[in-house]
Structure 1
Amino acid sequence: MDELTIPPALGTPGWPDFVAATAVRNAVETEGYDTTELNFSAEEVLPIWLNQAHEPMRLFAARVDGAVVARAVYETLLDPNVPFAWLTVQVLPEFRRRGLGTALADRLESLARDEHRHTQVTYAVSREGPGDRLPSPTGFGSVPLANPEVRFLLRRGYALEQVERGSRLALPVDVTDLARLLVDCAPVAGTDYSLQFWSGPTPSRWLRDMALLHTRMSTDAPTAGLEEPEDVYTIERLQTVENLAATGPRTILTAVVVHAPTGRLAGFTQLSVPTEVDRPVAQEDTLVLREHRGHRLGMLLKIANLQQLARLHPGHPSVITFNAEENRHMLDVNEAIGFGPIGYEGAWKRIEK
């Protein structure tokens, strides 16, 4: 087992191992959701890994005969006083039951212990399976109790806190249906709210508001018993994220809603569009600030950005999104648009005493 060097660019030292670790991630996601639509290339994920100044991440790998067959990710916040660490362990299906997952989990948990990150969170996909279920304490969703990842996490002292649903929208969406939904939203939104759009980095006039919206994603979105801490975005952090994203092959489409009486942004949604037209689009964050909810702005934003996608980047087969099972409002929005479930993952937490 070794820690991998994050390559500063394509083809630089560490690149082959980074590609191999990304392939492990894709294989595990493909097995869990029974689709390749959640796959990302190493070129697409590299910008995320290069933002170490704001989002510290470490990457570990386990090898068999020199080949990377498992990976582990250790994530924290910059503030050393925040007791949270986010852990991910993924092992190729054909190399499981050899102790590789246990060794990688031990390594991550040891790191968290050394850094006094005593609250550890992990997200694990759970395929459908027979037998008894482990219900989420939110009252929404469950995972099969006999699944190997469920037994593994329970043995290590993790508790299921939330179930997340992965959903897929087949494209193209009927333009008449979208227009009808948009018309239905307009009277509820009223004249106090208007839409704006952009592709790529945030225009300078909206940097402050977008930094606030990204911060509020960590406090306003449902996190159940995870009780994850506030993750503050400054303007400088937002610009770093967006500048790094611009070096990758994907395009970010943003729709925002402006509150006319204050001139401030009340919500946003983003789509991440791959270069290849035969690959799915990823639905990234969507948020309406709590103080502006009740005006159907979430529906307004989602539909408007899908229309922007159809105008600027037609031809993609689908959009993939994730939501907490208890986030019934956003699931209602997605289902009305045409999203259907493709799989589920558990959000797990353990607190070391």
Structure 2
Amino acid sequence: MDITRLFPDDEAGCAEAVALYAATQKIDCPEALLPTARSFAADLKYGWDGDPGQTYLARDEDGTLIGLLSVQIPTYDNTNLMWFEVEVHPDHRSRGIGTDLLTYGERLAAELGRTSLGLSQWDLPKAAAFAGRAGFESKAVEVNRRQDIGTLDWSIVENLYADAERAASAYELIRITGKLPDELLDGMVAVTASINDAPKDDLDIEDDEFSPERLRAYEDAQLAHDRTLYRVIARSRSTGELAGHSTIVVEQERPHVAEQHDTAVDQAHRGHRLGALVKTGMLLWLRESEPTVTQIDTWNAESNNHMIAINEQLNYHVVATAIAYQKTL
């Protein structure tokens, strides 16, 4: 087996990688949202927020792509951590390919001085067995939910918005498309950091560290992915302080697809239904500005009961469950 790194300018390699993902997810998670070749290449180049990971392709002796290793190497925070995802083509499983790829990743981690290793896998018995054999322990359960816009009862959204608006009368909503104005950037750093209050379960990880530069890198990365960036921000009418936000991106390549990137409320402003306000406010805005959107995907820790309760009122259904495993190198 030959393992080589995939670079974003390798169009054929990115297309092969996406085809392998399609083959594996057809078996492991048929409803999973797959990348396109273009978005896969953009992710290799820009990452989520200017901190791209690495992908390695495994080929057999005749050059057939049989496996893939994705590696995240955080640089903003958690600089002791390396996170893996392993995919093996269904036609080539039970040959030790996944184990060889994970071993390769652990060698990379050792070379970089990373001592804490994470592994993401769908919640499947074979995946749990694979992680266990490699010495990883289950640390968190993460759930992918999808909102079906076509069957959404808009009267529910409108009523939830009206109720939340009454409870949050001391706040106003700001709509931002694309990059944040400079005058809101510092305030959004603190609001974005509120995501650290979301459950981490048993994961041994540090809080995310945010800065104006990281928020700008996030915006640049999302725009480089050909995504339209929408933010709804709650702001105190009396102080002007930013209190909460909801962020969604819509793909330009596939304009029916949107992803919920973040919803968070600053701790000092909780108890006013701001989470429901920004989420429903976002939906009502998208109905006007992005009428072709038919689905919105989101991820939450299974233990995040508050956010899940809001999502379930908004016609989200479970697509799949993933397990986050971890071990010390």
TM, length-normalised to structure 1: 0.84
- Aligned partner (choices 327, 331, 351) of residue 304 of structure 2: 327
1:270 correspondence with 2:271: no
Tell me which residue corresponds to 2:24.
28
- Listed one character per residue, the Cα deviations across residues 189-212 of structure 1 (whole Å, up to 9, x for unaligned) are 231x21111222222222223333
Name the structure 2 match of 1:141. Answer: none
Instruction: Give the corresponding residue for 2:188.
Output: 210
Counterpart of 2:113 in structure 1 is: 116
CA spacing shift, 1:154–1:342, aligned 2, 3 Å: same
Secondary structure at the counterpart of residue 281 of structure 1: strand
Offset at residue 291 of structure 1 (A): 2.5
Distance 1:295 1:154 in 2: 43
CA–CA separation in structure 1 for the residues paired with 2:77 and 2:280:
40
Distance 1:202 1:42 in 2: 28
Q: Which amino acid aligns with 2:327?
A: R
Match in the other structure for 1:61: 57
Shift of 1:26: 4.1
Contact 2:72/2:84 (<8 A) preserved: yes
Post-superposition Cα deviations, 1:65-117, rounded to whole Å, max 9, x if no partner, equal 31323211221222698321111111122221122111110011122123232
TM-aligned CA deviation for residue 256 of structure 1? 1.3
Within the candidate set 112, 135, 159, 1:180 is matched to 159
Measured after TM superposition, the shift of residue 54 of structure 1 is 4.7
Question: Could you say which residue in structure 1 is the equivalent of 2:38?
Answer: 43
Q: Do the aligned partners of residues 242 and 225 (structure 1) sit closer, same or farther apart at CA in structure 2, a change above 3 Å counting? A: same
2:74 maps to 1:77: yes
Letter paired with 1:167: R
Q: Following the alignment from structure 1 to structure 2, what is the Cα–Cα distance between the partners of residues 29 and 194?
A: 42
1:96 aligns with 2:93: yes
> Which whole-Å CA distance do the structure 2 matches of 1:249 and 1:73 have between them?
22
Taking only aligned residues, the RMSD between alpha carbons, in angstroms, comes to 2.3
- Residues 1:120 and 1:207: Cα distance change in structure 2 (over 3 Å): same
How far 1:299 sits from its partner (Å)? 1.0
Which SS does the other structure have where 2:114 is aligned? coil
1:228-270 deviations in Å (ceiling 9; x for gaps)? 2233232223223322322332212211111334323222212
1:194 and 2:188 aligned: no
Q: 1:287 to 1:30 in 2, by over 3 A?
A: farther
Deviations 1:257-311 (A, max 9, x none): 1133432322221222123567432221211122222221111111111111111
Given residue 3 of structure 2, which amino acid in structure 1 is its aligned partner?
D
CA contact (8 A) 2:78 2:206 kept: no
Letter in 2 for 1:21: A
How far apart, CA to CA, are the structure 2 residues paired with 1:291 and 1:222? 18
SS at match of 1:208: helix
Q: Quote the residue 2:263 is aligned against.
A: 286
Moved more, 231-240 or 158-167: 231-240
Distance 2:280 2:12 in 1: 40
Asked if 2 retains the 8 angstrom alpha-carbon contact of 1:178 and 1:303, the reply is yes
Contact 2:72 2:82 in 1 (8 A): yes
| Structure 2 counterpart SS, 1:4 | strand
1:29-59, Cα deviation, whole Å (9 max, x unpaired): 44333225x1121222433322379525221
Letter paired with 1:345? A
Paired amino acid for 2:211: T
Q: Secondary structure at the match of 2:66?
A: strand
Give the C-alpha shift of residue 5 in structure 1: 4.1
Shift of 1:153: 0.4
CA shift at 1:180, angstroms? Answer: 0.6
Alpha-carbon separation, structure 1, partners of 2:51 and 2:255: 31
**2: CA distance between counterparts of 1:310 and 1:81?**
38
- 1:149 — aligned with what? 127
* Residue 259 of structure 2 is aligned to residue 259 of structure 1: no
* Distance in 1 between residues matched to 2:51 and 2:202, nearest whole Å: 23
Do 1:277 and 1:315's aligned partners in 2 also have CA atoms closer than 8 Å? Answer: no
Whether the 8 Å contact between 1:4 and 1:18 is mirrored in structure 2 is: no
Q: Give the number of equivalent residue pairs.
A: 325
Q: CA deviation at 1:149?
A: 0.6
Please state how far the C-alpha of 1:15 moved relative to its aligned partner.
2.1
Shift of 1:148: 0.8
Residues 1:2 and 2:3 are matched in the alignment: yes
What is residue 131 of structure 1 aligned with on the other side?
none
Residue 159 of structure 1: aligned partner: 137
Structure 2 gaps of 5+ residues are none
Change (3 A) 1:343 1:56: closer
Q: Provide, for residues 143-195 of structure 1, a one-character-per-residue CA deviation record: whole Å limited to 9, x for no partner.
A: xxxx111001011111111111111211132322211111121232231x211
